[in-house]
Structure formats: structure tokens, C-alpha cells
Structure 1
């Protein structure tokens, strides 16, 4: 019998402030979550959790179906299961997800994967909660958004690495301000140029 995996905890780090999942661990988590939430049985698991929490309220002869938001609880449980597979304390791992923006804000590629991870979780929940036609509309909008994001990334790569970092920081702030709503995951060309100008202007004034 294989011995149980050793778990990673905050106390295992040299200091509590430095305790964080590594880049490779995060990427493994994102990739595994993307795979699992694409599987029919996992989709059914999320949908069943939502359906099991339906409650009918009778108010003035009208029936209102209240869907308790169980989808997020299930996707979080899936993330915890993945972390256990990786030999990581789930509580520690989930806490680390809340610090990705702060710890890895200058890692452009990782932040892109993180935003995709957040988007994937939202879509998994939407698929469980929305009617098929509503979800189809959501997916169409999502594909359009992804095309815009791709064009944005192509545009960003034309800039100096320091400018790219400033642009991604502006994107992070925009996402946080919108509570990570997917619609906020795009910067227009004008906004990108504005970010670059703001970064350059202090140097011009100093010369």
C-alpha cells in the first residue's frame, strides 16, 4: 500500500509571509482543474449540487425558484481534491489562490493562466446554473471575449517588458475593481497607450 502523500503547509515555509504555492504547482492545479471540469461526470456533479438545492417559495400565488449557489462550493471542493492529489494541504492551497495576484503580479504568463483558471471556474458554474440557451449565449460572448483578449495580448507583446508589466498591473487592478468579472479582462488599445504614457511621462519630466 502506498504511503499517504506528504502535505504542504504554511509552517513548512521559512516564514508564514513567504508561504505560497510554487509557479509549477499553480500551473499543475490550473491544468488539472481545466481538464476535470470539462468531463461529463464532473459537469453532472456540479449540476446535481445546484439542482439538489432548489427551493420553491410561494409568494402571492407566484412560484419563485431559489437556486442556492452550490456550484462554487463544488468547484472549490474539486480544487481541494486536486491539491490533495498533489500532496498539498487544501486549506493552504486555497488560501494561496487568493494571493496569486500579489505574489506573481510580474509573471505575465502565469497571470494569464490564472485569469483563464478563474474564467473556467465561472463557466463551470454558469453551465450548471443556466438554461441551455442562456449558457449558449454566455459561451458565444465568452468566445468573443477570448478573441479580444488574444488581440490584446498580441498588442501587449509589442511593448518593452517594463511596459508590459505596467499594462498587466493595470489589467489586474481593473479585474479586481470589477470583482474578476470576465468582461473586465480586456484593455482597449487606448487604455494600453495611456498606461504606457503614464509610465514614461515621469522619466521625461526628470530629464
Structure 2
């Protein structure tokens, strides 16, 4: 006799990690990529296909798909203190977005977007490496300025970067003669 599907409570950390890993594996396979692309070519939303894939994984796990999807909407709240899980959740969301973009944008435009994203990430890494040379108060001032810049720029990727000169300018403005070290 088939067991009943889980439909109450909250998904466990292990269940969520399994979902994230299985989804990443499936969406990397050529037949699944083709499934998403075929849906887009058939004028369907790519996200509808990725949601269906998630539902299929939930069924494999013995979880009611509607319940499983509702749990995804609660992860940031229920697991707010579990940094590893929240990071994996955001990677999962990024993987879903990437699978959709790959199908919707076409090969050339998708490759351009990936190159652009990689370039932004490299610039962010350089910025963070340089920022680590400053003391914690200076780092806080830089992050505060970066946050304001991103907020004002509607969180577009380009707004997540400060140049070395901009960081040094933030620190120089922060320094007051009253707090200067002799």
C-alpha cells in the first residue's frame, strides 16, 4: 500500500538539500534542457516547466507537490538562522533562473549574459579582496555606501561594484580630524 504524501509541517533541512541537489542535477541534463526549450518554443513559460520538475521531485520524495512548493516560500523565514541552507536556497533559485534564461534567450544571448555575469562577479571579488585591506569600521562604511548605491540603482548588477578609488574616497570622507590617529 502506498504511503500518504507529506502535506503538513515544514520540509526538513535534509529534504530541502535533496530537492536543491536533484533539481540542479536534472536541469543540467540535455533531455531536461530540451524539455524546457520545447515548452518555450510552444509558447509556454519556462518557469512553468521548472515548477513542474520541482513538483515531480517532491512526488519522488513522498511530499505533496503543492505543500512542497508552499514550503519553498517559507524557507527564508523558517530557516533564517541557517546560513548554509539559505545560501543553498538562493543558489537553487539562481539555478532555476539560469535554466529558464537558457531556454528563453537562445544560445548566443545566453552566452553573452553568462559572460556578463561572470565579469560582474570577478569585479565584485576584486572589490571584496581590496576591501578586506581596510579595518572593520571602514569596511562597514563601504558596505553602507554600496547598499545605498544598490538601493538607488534598483539592485541592478552594475550597482553592486565600487572601484578602488570610490572605496578610498568613502574612507577619506569618513575620517574626521577629531578621530584622526596621531
TM bucket (normalised to shorter chain) is 0.5 to 0.7
**8 Å Cα contact 1:119/1:182 also seen in 2:** no
Residues 7-46 of structure 1: CA deviation (Å, up to 9, x unaligned): 1112xx3xxxxxx111111111000000000000000000
Of 109, 115, 138, the residue aligned with 2:113 is: 138
Partner of 2:12: 22
CA gap 1:94/1:149 in 2 versus in 1, 3 angstroms: farther
> How many angstroms apart in 2 are the aligned matches of 1:150 and 1:84?
39
- Structure ID, larger Rg: 2
RMSD of aligned C-alpha atoms?
3.5
Runs of 4+ in structure 1 deviating by more than 4 angstroms, as ranges, are 145-156
Can you give the 5+ residue segments of structure 1 that lack an aligned partner in the other structure?
14-19, 54-67, 157-166, 191-207
Partner of 1:6: 4
Give the alignment's TM-score, normalised by structure 2. Answer: 0.67
Partner of 1:48: 38
* Residues paired across the two proteins, number: 150
Displacement of 1:146 in angstroms is 4.8
Decide which structure has greater helix share: 2
Decide which structure has greater strand share: 1
**8 Å Cα contact 1:50/1:71 also seen in 2:** yes
Give the alignment's TM-score, normalised by structure 1. Answer: 0.60
Can you give the 5+ residue segments of structure 2 that lack an aligned partner in the other structure?
133-142, 167-182
CA gap 1:134/1:104 in 2 versus in 1, 3 angstroms: same
Alignment partner of 1:113 is 2:88: yes
Aligned to 1:119, the other structure's residue is in SS state: helix
**8 Å Cα contact 2:37/2:103 also seen in 1:** yes
> How many angstroms apart in 2 are the aligned matches of 1:43 and 1:120?
12
Displacement of 1:4 in angstroms is 3.2
Residues 85-118 of structure 1: CA deviation (Å, up to 9, x unaligned): 1110100000011111111112111111111100
Residues 32-72 of structure 1: CA deviation (Å, up to 9, x unaligned): 0000000000000000001012xxxxxxxxxxxxxx5x100
